[in-house]
Amino acid sequence: MMSDGWTESAKAWIADMGEAGDFGRAWVLDRPMLERVAAGNFTSALDVGCGEGRFCRMLSATGVQTIGVDPVTALIDQARRKDPDGDYRIGRAEMLDFPERSFDLVVSYLSLIDIPDIARAISEMARVLRPGGSLLIANLTSFNTAGQPEGWTRDGKGRPRFSIDQYLEERVDWVAWRGIRIRNWHRPLGTYMALLLEQGLILRHFAEPVPYGGDAAHVARYRRVPWFLIMEWHKPAC
């Protein structure tokens, strides 16, 4: 199988995340994600693509019994070092090793963009979700991923511009920053929406969160080209 870069980038990723996370996590996503968790009164959660376990630790701190799964051994090893009492397992989103209806919350925190077989992964997340539960997703916007890997460039007058292209074409690109080099998938938003609706899930919450802090330069750039969206999908009880 062709490498997706995660094993080779694990050390740099761990260093880059630290405990606080990067700008997007610390100043855009963490607060609204945790607000959705608090509003749902969940008791058990599965974090799919948990990485080094940072959000699992945040979930556990709220009292939610949490299991984290990730296919990268070095990241799971780091999660276990940081949280010896936590439950972290090697696993892939496309083949979750849990019975049906195991969790009342399933989380995908910036992991959908890393998954090749997204249809199988979303089906698996819905399968292990209990009726009445929620699938909580944070993802890069499809407008953002349609601009990769170049992203920001400068026009003929030297002004920064973010250009998107081939929005409707699903594809995978290599992206690199601060010693990390991984493969990310671009898909139109409609692809994700159709797959989630096919599972009989109901959209209960959709947001394009704005920064609530962080350095001014990051905030200004984010307001020009938002990076993220948050969705909460409900699995009907019937």
**Which tens digits make up the pLDDT trace of 25-75?**
999 999 999 999 999 999 999 999 999 999 999 999 999 999 999 999 999
What is the maximum alpha-carbon separation in the chain?
A: 59
Higher pLDDT, 193 or 163: 193
Average pLDDT over residues 130-152: 94
Domains of the chain, each with CATH number or no CATH: 6-232 (3.40.50.150)
- pLDDT at residue 2, rounded to an integer: 59
Share of the chain above pLDDT 70, in %: 99
Q: Is-contact 204 233, C-beta < 8 A? A: yes
Q: Which two tokens stand for residue 24?
A: 């997007």
Q: Which two tokens stand for residue 111?
A: 């992991």
- pLDDT at residue 9, rounded to an integer: 95
- pLDDT at residue 47, rounded to an integer: 98
Residue-wise DSSP of the chain: ----SHHHHHHHHHHHHTTT--HHIIIIIHHHHHHHHHHHT-SEEEEET-TTSHHHHHHHHTT-EEEEEES-HHHHHHHHHH-TTSEEEE-BTTB--S-TT-EEEEEEES-GGG-S-HHHHHHHHHHTEEEEEEEEEEEE-HHHHTTTTT-EEE-TTS-EEE----TTS-EEEEEEETTEEEEEEE--HHHHHHHHHHTT-EEEEEE-----SS-HHHHHHHHHS--EEEEEEEPP--
Q: Give the separation between CA 52 and CA 75, rounded to whole angstroms.
A: 5
Average pLDDT over residues 174-180: 93
- pLDDT at residue 150, rounded to an integer: 84
pLDDT at 190 over 80: yes
pLDDT at 230 over 90: yes
- pLDDT at residue 151, rounded to an integer: 85
Average pLDDT of the residues of the chain: 95
Identify the CA nearest to 75 among candidates 124, 4, 123, 26.
4
pLDDT at 168 over 60: yes
Predicted TM-score of the model (pTM)? 0.96
- pLDDT at residue 159, rounded to an integer: 92
In which band, very low, low, confident or very high, does the pLDDT at 1 lie, cut at 50, 70 and 90?
low
In which band, very low, low, confident or very high, does the pLDDT at 140 lie, cut at 50, 70 and 90?
very high
